[in-house]
Amino acid sequence: MAEPLLRVEDLVCRFGGVTATDHVSLDVNSGELHAIIGPNGAGKTTLISQLTGQLMSHSGTISFAGQDITRLPAHRRSRLGLARSFQITSLLPDFTAADNVAMAAQAHDGHSFRFWGDARKEKGLRDAARSALSRVGLEHRADTVVSELSHGEQRELELAVALATKPQLMLLDEPMAGLGATESAQMVKLLQELRREVTIVLVEHDMNAVFALADRITVLVYGRVIACDAPAAIRQHDEVKRAYLGDQHVVTRHD
Amino acid sequence: MKASLNARTIIVALVVAGLLLLPVYTTLSGNVFGLTLFTRIIIYALAAASLNLIMGYGGMMSFGHAAYLGIGGYAVGILAHEGIGSGFIQWPVALAASALFALVIGALSLRTRGVYFIMITLAFAQMAYYVASGLARYGGDDGLTIYKRSDFGGLIDLSNRVQFYYLCLGCLFGGIYLIWRIVNSRFGMVVQGLRSNERRMQAIGFPVNRYKLVCFVIAGTICGLAGALLANNTDFVSPAAMYWTRSGDLMVMVILGGMGSLFGPVLGTIAFLLLEEALSQFTEYWALIMGPLLLLIVLFARGGIDGMLGRARRG
Amino acid sequence: MLLVVEQFLNGLQFGLLLFLLAAGLTLVFGIMDFVNLAHGSLYMMGAYFAATFVVWTGSFVLGCVLALGATLLLGILLEFVALRHLYGRDHLDHVLATFGLILFFNDAVRLIWGPAGLALPLPPWLTVPFQIMPGVYYPAYRLAIIVVALLVALLLYLVVMRTRIGMLIRAGASNREMIGALGINIKLLYTLVFGLGAALAGLAGLMQAPILTVQIGMGENILILAFVIIVIGGIGSIRGAFLAAIFVGMIDTLGRAFLPDLLRQILSSAAASTAAPALSSMLIYLLMAIVLVVRPEGLFPAGRR
């Protein structure tokens, strides 16, 4: 069997006395869409932050494309092709949609210690921005300032930004958070297309979306992996049902 | 910079024209005082513009920016005192010393965020202030008189008021042009992105502190130039140039003019220093009016002068 | 030995005084997230009020009590008229507005009391040296400062740790949204906290007044020290402010007292006597820089952000 694209072993992160992720191990194979689900406070966002390097792990290892990245800072991981979207939309609010994406393209085009030419007139960056925007269906909003975009458009822009870094693996933290039914359906459709090009780790509360999209699902409860299997098997998993799927109230949209 | 005919463009054009033509007026009218006043205003405007680069565009609230005024000034003063009068040596030393200081304190300060950053930059500037006060050989607390202005051979005569004025004006316009190119370059986009959302910039692959540090050093170096000009203007340099209230003045000039606007700091400096001058003509207790005025400006005129001229500032 | 004890006590006294100033600052900072540069002006006003009221009333104690009340009122007035409109604004707005207040207060004082400094003479019963241990005398007034400041610190501790208001203050310092959720009259709480901070600053000012001259700008140097303290201690933390204040007071005082001698051991006498004052003034800033480099949120971060 081929080496997994992302391999996580025994990852631990503590906040004071709370263990947010407790010896999490996880493999993500190249080309799959791997969903991570779990009740609120299960440590999903912590795990994503550990994977991208925003949080350093207390123990455990992360390897990506065969390289140990456990101690690499966030910007180096991003360069290796690990992109993330944020649960709470985290764009550059006073920049236009196109500028947001162009910035991501710029990040992956060598260093930015260029002090003279007008970056907004660089054809390469503009083209990259346009193509990523059209990929998510936002090309008509290119020159709109982010703070004036609708919530759904901002979520799509998050994806465009992640795409523009030409990632091998995208870590999506609740891309449907706060979306209405139509917008959610659109997002699912978009993810269906994107998964053909790039490996995706998806953290999501919207169970319909997760079961429609995922190849495999990892269930996280209190920082621990209690199951990891194909969607059909997860549905039948006793512990998962008890801990999670059985409870009606936990299937909420937002942490 | 489209030359659409809005209030801002008109005001900026008027100010630029006014500054360019001022020596004509003062020479004709014999108003020497106006020329000295505006030379000082232009030098402070350069310092404020450099602070605007890190504060307005980069979101780094430095409360120690006056340190570079002192460092640039002392580089000129100390070299002159030691008998090295050539501006070709003095000025590069002033710039290099400022850059070095910015590099060291920037590398340390940029580990902190928010109010902590404001305070640590303040602390470093105060340290520079006390070092200068301890320089007994160079006047200590009392400061150092510079008997001869920087010598640029036959190129330019700094003792000639008009020539010196135009030199300062050239430095200001040059500085603003440089800042304009920088903020619109790839580097500038990164720096402005950092102000907007640092976490995001890191997530898409930028080593954020490196960019901040380089920006911090550029701003410090430009302000060091203002320091060298200031020392030549007053023929004197003293620790007071670095005192924290002077850093506060610079911040006020930037905020008054409008942060993150190219010409804002120039307008802010003109407004601040002219107001100070006018009020002190009118009453000895000018700060009694100036103080509450600042308060009112903060309360009711957000975005500074630039903000009042309409149009949200560019991103 | 004698000198060491004396300087040690001086350091303690200065540190406690700094704590009074820093406590108000850190509360206002921690709870309202408000940067108040004019805190030093309140300190100055406390001193000027005391110098005036002591002469008017002819009684040192009565004058000081009146001055304390006056500073409290001034603080509340300031908060009510201007500063409360700035909560929630950018820190830079705070800096600019309160910088304006400093300008205002300095010139107001110059207009009312004149540019020359004032002296606040001590009553005879406070000028006697006090024997603290056999053969060691210490000025009674400085001792009184230590006692008063310690009592105030204790009182503050009890208020913050044991009362309902204190509970709110602590809750506010670590999580501002929470007190809003508790349905408290936040505006009133804020005004009270600001008034308390102003009174503490005024107390520090009036107690310092007999030791130094009462003069314009006296609040500015010490304000920076207070900022250094709350940054070292961690913004919003009273305990951090207390420890950092004692620490800074000691280092500053002992540095000024003993650094020249220490330097003379290594440097030539002339070089030492020029380097020492600058170096001892720098010490605390150096300390702060080191603390921030090692712990970017201060020694006792109040647990937010």
What are the residue ranges spanned by the domains of chain A?
1-81+170-255, 94-166
- Is C301 inside any structural domain? no
Would the pLDDT of B314 be above 80? Answer: no
Q: Does C103 contact chain B (CB < 8 Å)?
A: yes
For the CA atoms of chain C, what is the radius of gyration? 20
Task: Give A119's contacts (C-beta < 8 A, 6+ positions apart).
Answer: A102, A106, A125, B184, B185, B186, B188, B189
pLDDT above 70 for A1:
no
Nearest CA-CA distance, residue B309 and chain A, Å: 19
B119 touches chain C (CB under 8 A): yes
Contacting partners of chain B (3+ CB pairs under 8 A): A, C
Q: Do A165 and B214 touch (CB under 8 A)?
A: no
Q: Where are the alpha helices (DSSP H) in chain C?
A: 2-32, 39-57, 60-81, 91-113, 140-162, 164-174, 176-181, 186-208, 218-233, 238-266, 269-294
Q: Measured between CB atoms, does A174 come within 8 Å of chain B? A: no
Residue-wise pLDDT for B158-198, tens only, equals: 999 999 999 999 999 999 999 999 999 999 999 999 999 99
- Does the distance separating the beta carbons of A103 and B193 come in below 8 Å? yes
Kindly report the number of other CB atoms within 10 A of residue C38's CB atom: 30
**B300 close to C (CB below 8 A):** no
Could you tell me the pLDDT band of residue C305, with boundaries at 50, 70 and 90? very low
Which residues on B lie below 8 Å from C103 (Cβ)?
Answer: 287, 290-291, 294
Q: Which residue of A has its CA nearest to B178?
A: A116
Which CATH homologous superfamily contains domain A1-81+170-255? P-loop containing nucleotide triphosphate hydrolases (3.40.50.300)
Non-local CB neighbours of A194 within 8 Å, separated by 6+ positions:
A135, A159, A163, A170, A200
Q: Looking at residues C47-71, what average pLDDT do you find?
A: 94
- Segment A25-51 mean pLDDT: 90
Average pLDDT over residues A225-250: 77
How many Å from the N-terminal Cα to the C-terminal Cα in chain C?
46
Structural domain total, chain C? 1
The minimal CB distance from B315 to the residues A78, A94, A102 is found for A94
* Among A108-117, A205-214, C245-254, the least confident range: A108-117
Give the C-alpha separation, C170 to C304, whole Å. Answer: 12
Q: Which two tokens stand for residue A27?
A: 């493999």
Structural domain contains residue C303: no
Alpha carbons A45 and A37: distance in angstroms, whole number: 11
> Is C277 in Cβ contact with B133 (below 8 Å)?
yes
pLDDT class for C95, splitting at 50, 70, 90? Answer: confident
Give the C window 231-260 contacts with B, CB below 8 Å: 231, 235
Which of C285, C287, C299 to mutate against chain B (most B CBs within 10 Å)? C285
- Per-residue pLDDT tens for C118-141? 888 888 888 888 887 787 788 889
Under the banding of pLDDT at 50, 70 and 90, the label for residue B36 is: very high
Least CB–CB distance from A92: residue in B182, B186, B193: B193
CB distance A22 to A223 below 8 Å: yes
- Give the count of alpha carbons within 13 A of A46, CB side only: 24
**Cα-to-chain-centroid distance, residue A92:** 17
Q: At what angle do helices B244-257 and C218-233 cross, to 10 degrees?
A: 80
Q: What letter represents residue A11's amino acid?
A: L
Residue C58 is assigned to a structural domain of this protein: yes
Distance CA A94, CA A38 (A): 34
pLDDT surpassing 50 at residue A250: no
The position carrying tokens 């030359």 is B3
DSSP alpha helices (H): ranges in A12-73? 44-52
* Residue A110 sits at the chain B interface (C-beta within 8 Å): no
How long a stretch of residues is chain C?
305
pLDDT at B315: 37
Q: Do B203 and A116 touch (CB under 8 A)?
A: no
Top-confidence range, B36-50, B141-155, C31-45: B36-50
Which of B218-221's residues contact partners 24+ apart within 8 Å by CB, and which partners? B218/B50, B218/B53, B218/B182, B219/B50, B219/B51, B219/B53, B219/B54, B219/B58, B219/B62, B219/B65, B219/B102, B220/B50, B220/B65, B220/B68, B220/B98, B220/B99, B220/B101, B220/B102, B220/B106, B221/B68, B221/B95, B221/B98, B221/B99, B221/B102
Average pLDDT, rounded, for chain C: 86
Helix (H) or strand (E) holding A152: helix A151-164
CA atoms within 13 A on the CB side of C122: 19
For C91-125, the three-class secondary structure string (H helix, E strand, C coil) is HHHHHHHHHHHHHHHHHHHHHHHCCCCECCCCCHH
pLDDT (tens digit per residue) in A122-132: 998 999 999 99
Tell me the shortest Cα–Cα distance from C89 to chain B, in angstroms: 10
Predicted local distance difference test score (pLDDT) of residue B310:
63
Q: Using CA coordinates, name the residue in chain B closest to C291.
A: B120
| A60 to A7, A14, A50, A217, B227: CA distances (angstroms) | 11, 12, 11, 21, 52
Residue A249 reports pLDDT greater than 50: no
CB contact under 8 A, C105 and B291: yes
> CA A140, A107, A146: angle at the middle one, nearest 5?
35
The number of C-beta contacts closer than 8 angstroms across B and C is 139
**Do B196 and A92 make contact, defined as CB atoms within 8 angstroms?**
yes
Residue B12: closest CA among B262, B287, B250: B262
- Asked if C101 lies within 8 A of B116 by C-beta distance, the reply is no
In the predicted structure, residue A12 carries a pLDDT above the cut 70: yes
Q: Which tokens sit at B94?
A: 């002033």
Interface probe with B: pick from C80, C86, C103, most Cβ of B within 10 Å: C103
Q: Which of residues 17-46 of C touch B (CB under 8 A)?
A: 29, 35, 37
Q: What is the average pLDDT across B285-312?
A: 79
% pLDDT > 90, chain A: 42
Task: Note the pLDDT tens digit of each residue in C6-30.
Answer: 889 999 999 999 999 999 888 888 7
- Is residue A72 predicted with pLDDT exceeding 60? yes
Give the pLDDT of residue B55. Answer: 94
Residue C206, pLDDT > 50, answer yes
Q: Is the Cβ pair B189, A145 closer than 8 Å?
A: no
Q: How confident is the model at residue A252 (pLDDT cuts 50, 70, 90)?
A: very low
User: What is the average per-residue pLDDT within A93-101?
Assistant: 92
pTM > 0.95? no
Q: Residue B114 above 60 pLDDT? A: yes
Chain B residues close to C110, C-beta within 8 Å = 285
Contacts with B245 from chain C: Cβ below 8 Å: 102, 220
pLDDT of residue A79: 86
User: Given a cut of 70, is residue B10 above it in pLDDT?
Assistant: yes
CA atoms within 13 A on the CB side of B229: 28
Q: What would the mean pLDDT of A80-100 be, rounded to a whole number?
A: 87
CA C47 vs CA B129, B192, C112, C118, C212: distances in Å: 27, 45, 14, 9, 10
Which tokens sit at C190? 């804020």
CA C63 to CA C55: how far, in whole Å? 8
Give DSSP secondary structure letters for chain B: ------HHHHHHHHHHHHHHHHHHHHHHHT-HHHHHHHHHHHHHHHHHHHHHIIIIIT----S-THHHHHHHHHHHHHHHHTT--BHHHHHHHHHHHHHHHHHHHHHHHTTS-HHHHHHHHHHHHHHHHHHHHT-GGGTGGG-EE-SSPPB-TTS--TTSHHHHHHHHHHHHHHHHHHHHHHHHSHHHHHHHHHHH-HHHHHHTT--HHHHHHHHHHHHHHHHHHHHHHHHHHHTEE-GGGGSHHHHHHHHHHHHHH-TT-SSHHHHHHHHHHHHHHHHHHH-TTTHHHHHHHHHHHHHH-TTHHHHHTSSPPP-
Q: Which of A41-45, B298-302, C34-38, C91-95 has the lowest mean pLDDT?
A: B298-302
Between A17 and C124, the more confident residue is C124
- Residues B122/B242, Cβ–Cβ less than 8 Å: no
Does residue B258 surpass a pLDDT of 70? yes
ipTM exceeds 0.90, yes or no: no
Q: Is C282 on the interface with B (CB under 8 A)?
A: yes
Q: Do C104 and B291 touch (CB under 8 A)?
A: yes
Residue C69 buriedness (CB in 10 A; 0-12 / 13-18 / 19+): middle
Sign of CA dihedral B238, B240, B243, B249: negative
- Which residues in chain A are contacts of B188 at CB distance < 8 A? 115, 119
Give the structural domain span for C24: 2-294
- Tell me which of B99 and C230 has the higher pLDDT: B99
> What's the confidence (pLDDT) of residue B67?
97
**CATH classification of the domain holding C67:** 1.10.3470
Answer yes or no: do B126 and C91 touch at CB < 8 A.
no
Listed residue (C270, C275, C235, C233) closest to C255, CA to CA: C275
